[in-house]
Chains A and B, each alone.
Chain A
Amino acid sequence: MSKARVIQAEWQNDMVSFSRRDFIKQVAAGGGAAIILGNLGVLHLSSVMAEQAVTYRMIAVDLKKCTGCRTCEAVCSAYNHKQKVNGELLNGLGNPYLTNIRVHGFNPDVDVPAVCAMCLDNPCIEACPVEPHPETGRKALYRDEETGTIRNDRKRCIACGSCAEACRAERVGIIYPNPETNKPERMCTLCDGEPQCVKYCPYDALSYMEIDLEREFYGKSPELIAEELTRRWYAIDGKEGKNE
């Protein structure tokens, strides 16, 4: 736990130096992880954390720094959907439709990049009805033990869409079944250890790190996050304006 804690502390320092006043206001507003988690009505993640020996490095977003530019979408798509050009395997052109990290924009202006949270209790895998493989113990949706990423075994997948439903109902909602095959897609691959979104985000809003599961907004849907950020950022006395 300690390592993740240290990272968490550094993270918050960043936020404070970015905007000390706003940060203090956020705390004073009483919006905390506990409250947000309470909204979900699902398993409290920190209890899972306590039982687990491992945590994974994954993509973390600093929502205050994100500008909604969607460069992350393009570079994710380019890396993960390579193209053969004159016999050479090259990055794709960056069609954002294919991205594993997806920026959701709201009004008033809030942008929430949504990416697989690599949930330790993996509700997506839990929901997969395919029997575990006798040798590997893997269902059709499974976790790659080394990286912790969520993978789909196309051959055994029965295209029922249960994983996507579970992820949407309980967590970030990042699985999009392929429109033709209905098999799950858009789970973060971590780009062979060199996350492209982190590398190319022009605003340094993304990090590749071990995340404290009590970190605010961890595993939340973009809608929930946007709702909370809208309240914090834009409801200043809140009498006039677009806040309902």
Chain B
Amino acid sequence: MSKGMNGYHGVILDIDLTSGKINRKPVPVEDTAKFVGGRGLGMKILWDRLKTPGIDALSPENPLMFMPGPLSGFPVPASCRTCVVTKSPRTSAIASEYPQASTVSYSNMGGFFGPEIRFAGYDGMVITGKASSPVYVLIDDDKAEVRDAKKFWGMGTDEFDRKFIEELGDRRFRTCYIGPAGENLVSYACIINTAARAAGRGGTGCVMGSKNLKAIAVRGTKMPDVADHKQFLDFLEQAREGFKGTDFTKGWRYGGTARALAWSSGRGSQAVRNFREGTFADIDKIGDEAARQKTWIRDFACYCCPLSCKKSGAVKTVSHTGLAHDGPEYETGTMFGANLLVSDLGGLMKEISSGDDYGLDIISTGNVIGFLMENYEKGNIDRTFLDGIDLTWGNVDAVLKMIDKIARRDGVGDMASKGVKLLAEKIGSDSDKFAMHVKGHELAAWNVHVDPGMGISYVSSNRGACHLNGRTLEEQNSNAMIDSTGVCLFADYGFGEMGLQNLLTAVTGIEWTKEEYAKAGERIFNLERMFNFREGFRREDDTLPDRFFAEPLTVGPGQGAVLDRGEFTKMLDEYYEKRGWDPKTSKPTKAKLQNLGLSFTIET
């Protein structure tokens, strides 16, 4: 540990797959103080590494980063996250001068991987270059090497998860990997760990595939030091107490995110029928109560997490009986269920397990398939276009065939693997009006008609449409910080008002007041925005699909709900105003950047 780096090792592991060189690089104290870790520190490194805009996200130069935070590895409740940061292969701008312009991408995964990176003695991992043939990276404390992975290429994530651990010979190794989708460069391929947890969004698995990198394994024995040991133990005790026996904790354990399936449908905010509706009549067939009875086996928690939102499952008593996989969550249950009008729980489980096994982002995949279903229904495409698949609503077999085609980029799957934005260009017939994306990144499982705040979350997110971005600027800054600490967003509330700030203070020795904490979040968010701006993204890229302004919901409690374009534009104007951004271009003002300590982003 470098002096003055409490809470950090002060070391980033730098791996160049082209040359095979592995280096330990120091992290400047100034950067950890300003950008914290995780999403923030990853963003700073991305900015530093990509000096010129417009590089191809799938080129060897694009760094793929695995970033835990300063609380990762300490037994703080839910301090389990790893933020994967890279330049996005998913997004594109309306009028950038760079043909390969894209936004930042960050995607956060739970499990045990991030803490283990810290146990191995690093604050993060930066991978650049491209291996000449499939490889995996093995990190065992100070030892790190690149190894041949040819025999694993093509293997689904579930089988790989088991085979890889066998090869490594110790279950203490923590691993993450891509499936065939990532290998085949499906733009929305994800990175998987523990056979079901994912850095799902933003095409991180596609970038990993472009580097010929199948997997990473890490194991370690160390821990960074903290600034105030005694204070840390006190705050840790408080944090643990704060989660104990509360309704908040009980709720997560009881239903995970799947609780939201019925709840969201009940208020008209679910993605149903390619976002045409907000309520799914058959939601009870796939909601958490049905899932609990027919698929859930046990609760599964990430590192030191008291919430256990993940439900290990196996299908009992419905179709596909015997299939062992995680039960539906809100996102997977909606995007592969409600959004496609799939009400067969066993079939839904099969879709989810297939999506995870291929290593696909189920949100984007469900969105793409919903888009194709709608075009098929409307007659914009025919069965020939779909390689003979009868892609009707609710047809599980057809969905499974499409998943397969997308992951292998076979026939129609090749086009579909690029996402709805490019599909709409190909299909024409005004289908862009219901191509549900922002900047090329597909919308997630939350519908907008009854919830304009979610519309703000989608359009103002720096990675393209994102439901976790936050409805207000305060929420967005806070979420950017959470993603930078290594703690899970779902657990945030459980820490109470000052819990995380206090822990960060004890760990880093920097006084993290409420104000400084919020400001660091704002700094990170603005740096992302500056990256996007430099790529050529402007206000007109912050736009919702037409559907929300043109087609009111026709069923459910939200019936009649539709967005008013004028009002939404006003909301967005106010948002830029409050952010200190030019409402015309969405560019952060000079004063704002200086105030946040981002002067280095102002071109001279």
Please list the residues of chain A having a beta carbon within 8 angstroms of any beta carbon in chain B. Answer: 64, 67-71, 74-75, 78, 83, 85-86, 88, 90-91, 93-97, 104-109, 111, 200, 202-203, 233-243
Q: Assuming the A-B contacts A69-B302, A78-B75, A109-B298, are A96 and B119 also in contact, with contact meaning beta carbons closer than 8 angstroms in the complex?
A: yes
How does the 8 Å CB contact mask read for B48-81 relative to A, with 1 for contact and 0 for none? 0000000000000000000000000011010000
The 9 listed contacts between A and B (C-beta, < 8 Å) are A67-B300, A70-B303, A90-B233, A94-B75, A94-B223, A95-B222, A108-B195, A233-B297, A241-B322
Cβ contacts under 8 Å, B119 to chain A? 95-97
Minimum CB–CB distance for A73 against chain B, Å: 8
Cα of A109 to Cα of B300 in the assembled complex, Å: 8
* Secondary structure type dominating chain B contacts: loop
How does the 8 Å CB contact mask read for B147-170 relative to A, with 1 for contact and 0 for none? 000000000001101100100000
Instruction: Output the nearest chain B residue to A105 by Cβ-Cβ distance.
Output: B171
Does the CB pair B306–A69 fall under 8 Å? yes
Q: Is B226's beta carbon under 8 Å from chain A? A: yes
Does the CB pair A91–B233 fall under 8 Å? yes
| Top 3 A-B pairs, shortest CB-CB distance | A74-B75, A109-B312, A69-B301
How does the 8 Å CB contact mask read for B289-319 relative to A, with 1 for contact and 0 for none? 0000000011111111110100010111000
Does the CB pair A71–B232 fall under 8 Å? no
Instruction: Output the nearest chain A residue to B80 by Cβ-Cβ distance.
Output: A69
Cβ contacts under 8 Å, B320 to chain A? 240
Q: A74-B75, A85-B230, A105-B171 are in contact. List 12 more A-B contacts (CB 8 A).
A: A90-B233, A93-B74, A95-B223, A108-B314, A109-B297, A109-B298, A200-B240, A202-B240, A236-B322, A237-B321, A241-B322, A241-B324
Instruction: Output the nearest chain B residue to A200 by Cβ-Cβ distance.
Output: B240
Instruction: Output the nearest chain B residue to A96 by Cβ-Cβ distance.
Output: B119
Does the CB pair B220–A68 fall under 8 Å? no
Minimum CB–CB distance for B400 against chain A, Å: 13
Interface residues of B in 231-264 (CB under 8 A from A): 232-233, 240, 243-244
Q: Is B325's beta carbon under 8 Å from chain A? A: yes
Minimum CB–CB distance for A227 against chain B, Å: 13
Minimum CB–CB distance for B114 against chain A, Å: 13
Cα of A85 to Cα of B233 in the assembled complex, Å: 12
Cβ contacts under 8 Å, B321 to chain A? 236-237, 239-240
Cα of A137 to Cα of B60 in the assembled complex, Å: 66
How does the 8 Å CB contact mask read for B313-349 relative to A, with 1 for contact and 0 for none? 0111000111111100000000000000000000000
Candidate in B74, B171, B306 with the most chain A CB atoms within 10 angstroms: B171
Minimum CB–CB distance for B331 against chain A, Å: 19
Cβ contacts under 8 Å, B324 to chain A? 108, 234, 241-243
B interface size (C-beta, 8 A): 48
Cα of A92 to Cα of B302 in the assembled complex, Å: 21
Cβ contacts under 8 Å, B75 to chain A? 71, 74-75, 78, 93-94
Cα of A109 to Cα of B194 in the assembled complex, Å: 8
Candidate in A78, A91, A96, A235 with the most chain B CB atoms within 10 angstroms: A96
Please list the residues of chain B having a beta carbon within 8 angstroms of any beta carbon in chain A. Answer: 74-75, 77, 112, 119, 158-159, 161-162, 165, 171, 194-195, 220-223, 225-226, 229-230, 232-233, 240, 243-244, 297-306, 308, 312, 314-316, 320-326
* Secondary structure type dominating chain A contacts: loop
Instruction: Output the nearest chain A residue to B156 by Cβ-Cβ distance.
Output: A242
Does the CB pair B308–A69 fall under 8 Å? yes
Cβ contacts under 8 Å, B299 to chain A? 67, 203
Does the CB pair A67–B301 fall under 8 Å? yes
Minimum CB–CB distance for A209 against chain B, Å: 22
Cβ contacts under 8 Å, B221 to chain A? 95, 97
Cβ contacts under 8 Å, B316 to chain A? 236
Candidate in A97, A106, A235, A243 with the most chain B CB atoms within 10 angstroms: A97
Minimum CB–CB distance for B499 against chain A, Å: 16
Instruction: Please pick, from B223, B233, B306, B312, the residue contacting A108 in the complex, using a CB distance under 8 A.
Output: B312
Instruction: Output the nearest chain B residue to A85 by Cβ-Cβ distance.
Output: B229
Q: Assuming the A-B contacts A88-B230, A95-B222, are A71 and B158 also in contact, with contact meaning beta carbons closer than 8 angstroms in the complex?
A: no
Cβ contacts under 8 Å, A78 to chain B? 75
Candidate in A90, A93, A243 with the most chain B CB atoms within 10 angstroms: A93
Cα of A96 to Cα of B75 in the assembled complex, Å: 9
Minimum CB–CB distance for B145 against chain A, Å: 19
Minimum CB–CB distance for A237 against chain B, Å: 4
Cβ contacts under 8 Å, A85 to chain B? 229-230
Cβ contacts under 8 Å, A109 to chain B? 194, 297-298, 300, 312, 326
Instruction: Output the nearest chain A residue to B303 by Cβ-Cβ distance.
Output: A70
Cβ contacts under 8 Å, B112 to chain A? 70
Cβ contacts under 8 Å, B314 to chain A? 108, 233-234, 236, 241
Instruction: Output the nearest chain B residue to A64 by Cβ-Cβ distance.
Output: B298
Minimum CB–CB distance for B220 against chain A, Å: 7
Cα of A241 to Cα of B156 in the assembled complex, Å: 13
Instruction: Output the nearest chain B residue to A77 by Cβ-Cβ distance.
Output: B75
Does the CB pair A240–B302 fall under 8 Å? no
Cβ contacts under 8 Å, B300 to chain A? 67-68, 109, 111
